[in-house]
């Protein structure tokens, strides 16, 4: 059975026989491969909130399947399904992919005949998953020359790429965004080495990116979140590539907390700082990223406690009565971004260039 497979190729999938939806529970990686079924909308919301699934494209696809599950449970009541879709949309605030995917899946379903709405939603969720996989593949193709160019200039030496959080296939559907050019370069025989920021407090870099890169045979080293600036000063970083959860049409980039500091350090050291993203991560409504992108704040216990290897075991890091704050994302202003690697090609972080690439009209 599909859901019992030991190493799923995707972080979310449908069982073709039963139509059931399964995910990898990413909270358990790298220590255990646990697969969970999403049986209803509450499961979907829980999985997104608790970060069983995470990463902007993946939470979009998960939200779209949530709309399918809403219709499957309420075929006769489209208003109830629409209400459930609104709940899913609110599960996490920063990644724009969630609202993007939920809204269009709802629209597709409501355009179908009453009895076909669940089927239409399910088909559209699958279509979004396919689209995101293909977009990631294209991001890999368009990003590859950036790495190849550096490799040509340092024959016999590795191209050192720093990344933050997990913008790999676990966060998307396949290939990843930031990792797609890295996987492409590795497959082409280019000597790449990745500095993996551990990404406190949930350690998506240490747990997930390191696991992914290791499985693909890509050389990598996990570093503490604050090591990047030092490595850049020592000439040990050639290129930074990160993902994003929401990027404004003016080029401001929301990504995992700490990304902004990496961009500042890269600028100070004359190192290219690229952001890889599919078009679903652009927000075409927001001009000012710092002022307008909603930044998720999560439970402070994620900062206070360090998860252990054993399930449900955590270790208190702080004095018992110290307060903690858990800002999950920050915004890197466009001026610090060298360029975007997208499915349509590479472009500067600038409104006209972005709109030209995506053929959006000026507002
Ligand atoms: C291709 S994923 C890009 C981003 O979603 C990723 O870099 C990130 O910040 C994920 O944050 P997370 O809180 O783990 O969902």
CB 128 within 8 A of CB 120: no
| Cα of 77 from ligand 1 centre, angstroms | 34
Helix, strand, coil percentages (3-state) for the chain, rounded to 5, are 45, 20, 40
Q: Which CATH architecture fits 2-131?
A: Up-down Bundle (1.20)
Same fold flag, 2-131 and 141-358: no
Model confidence pLDDT, tens digit, residues 230-262? 999 999 999 999 999 999 999 999 999 999 999
Cross-sheet strand order for the sheet of 246-248:
282-283, 246-248, 253-256, 329-332
CB 27 within 8 A of CB 33: no
Q: Is 167 in the pocket of ligand 1 (CB under 6 A)?
A: yes
Atom of ligand 1 nearest to the CA of 276: 1
- Strands (DSSP E) found in 191-248: 192-197, 219-223, 239-242, 246-248
Residue 1 banded pLDDT, cuts 50, 70, 90: very low
Residue 41 banded pLDDT, cuts 50, 70, 90: very high
Q: Is 246 in the pocket of ligand 1 (CB under 6 A)?
A: no
Q: Is 98 in the pocket of ligand 1 (CB under 6 A)?
A: no
244/253 Cα distance (integer angstroms): 6
Q: Is 135 in the pocket of ligand 1 (CB under 6 A)?
A: no
Complex-level ipTM: 0.98
Model confidence pLDDT, tens digit, residues 294-304? 999 999 999 99
Sequence-distant (6+) residues with CB within 8 A of 139 are 175, 177, 180, 181, 276, 277, 278, 341, 342, 343
Q: Which residue CA neighbors atom 10 of ligand 1 most closely? A: 55
Residue 3 banded pLDDT, cuts 50, 70, 90: very low
Domain spans, the chain: 2-131, 141-358
CB 258 within 8 A of CB 225: yes
* Residue 312: predicted pLDDT: 67
Active site residues: 245
Tell me what the pLDDT averaged over the chain comes to: 95
Intra-chain end-to-end CA distance of the chain, in Å:
50
Instruction: Please name the fold of domain 141-358.
Output: Rossmann fold (3.40.50)
């Amino acid at each position: 059975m599909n859901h019992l497979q030991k190493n799923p190729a995707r972080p979310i999938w449908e069982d073709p026989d039963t139509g059931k939806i399964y995910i990898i529970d990413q909270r358990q990686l790298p220590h255990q491969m646990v697969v969970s079924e999403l049986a209803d909308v509450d499961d979907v919301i829980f999985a997104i909130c608790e970060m069983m699934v995470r990463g902007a494209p993946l939470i979009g696809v998960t939200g779209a399947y949530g709309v399918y599950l809403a219709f499957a449970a309420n075929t006769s009541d489209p208003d109830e399904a629409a209400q459930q879709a609104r709940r899913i949309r609110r599960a996490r605030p920063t990644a724009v992919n969630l609202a993007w995917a939920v809204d269009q899946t709802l629209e597709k379903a409501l355009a179908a005949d009453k009895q076909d709405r669940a089927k239409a939603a399910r088909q559209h969720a699958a279509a979004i998953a396919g689209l995101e996989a293909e977009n990631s593949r294209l991001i890999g193709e368009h990003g590859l020359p950036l790495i190849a160019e550096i490799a040509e200039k340092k024959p016999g030496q590795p191209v050192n790429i720093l990344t933050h959080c997990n913008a790999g296939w676990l966060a998307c559907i396949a290939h990843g965004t930031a990792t797609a050019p890295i996987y492409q370069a590795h497959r082409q025989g280019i000597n790449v080495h990745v500095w993996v920021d551990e990404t406190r407090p949930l350690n998506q870099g240490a747990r997930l990116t390191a696991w992914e890169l290791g499985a693909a045979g890509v050389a990598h080293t996990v570093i503490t979140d604050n090591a990047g600036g030092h490595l850049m000063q020592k000439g040990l970083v050639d290129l930074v590539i990160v993902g994003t959860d929401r990027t404004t049409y003016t080029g401001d980039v929301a990504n995992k907390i700490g990304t902004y500091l990496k961009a500042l350090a890269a600028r100070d050291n004359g190192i290219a700082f690229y952001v890889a993203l599919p078009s679903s991560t652009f927000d075409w409504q927001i001009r000012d990223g710092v002022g307008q992108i909603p930044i998720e704040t999560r439970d402070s216990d994620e900062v206070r406690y360090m998860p252990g290897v054993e399930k449900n075991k955590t270790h208190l890091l702080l004095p018992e009565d110290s307060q903690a704050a858990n800002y999950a994302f920050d915004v890197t202003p466009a001026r610090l971004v060298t360029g975007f690697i997208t499915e349509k090609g590479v472009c500067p972080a600038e409104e006209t260039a972005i709109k030209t690439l995506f053929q959006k009209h000026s507002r």
